[in-house]
Amino acid sequence: MDVHNSNDTLLMSYSKNLPKSVEVIYKYHVQDKTSWEMKPGFTNFDPVKKGQLLANDISGPVYCPLDGLILMPLYQKKGRDGFFIVKPL
């Protein structure tokens, strides 16, 4: 049985240029939630370059450790996963 969901077309249009699957190659763990500040403007799957300033934490500036795509940049004060760097498979 083929059931069409009205949201399928919308989801397919939003994801058409995204990788079908990715591998997590780096995770940044937030040291102190009160001092964490992600730089503005990052969204899921934005390309990032090694050495690019991504955030500030209790220890100071947080630079991207390697080239890849950023996933789940942390803009709220909940959680300790600051961001992930992924690469398409």
pLDDT in tens, 20-75: 899 999 999 998 888 899 999 999 999 999 999 999 999 999 999 999 999 999 99
pLDDT above 60 (res 1): no
In a domain, 1, yes or no: no
> pTM of the prediction?
0.83
- Domain span at 41: 19-88
In a domain, 7, yes or no: no
Q: How many CB atoms lie within 10 A of CB 81?
A: 14
Per-residue pLDDT at 65: 97
CA distance 59 to 48: 21
* 55, 82 Cβ separation under 8 angstroms: yes
In a domain, 55, yes or no: yes
* 48, 64 Cβ separation under 8 angstroms: yes
The number of distinct structural domains making up the chain is 1
Which run of H or E residues covers position 55?
strand 53-57
In a domain, 31, yes or no: yes
- Look up the CATH number of the domain holding residue 63: 2.40.50
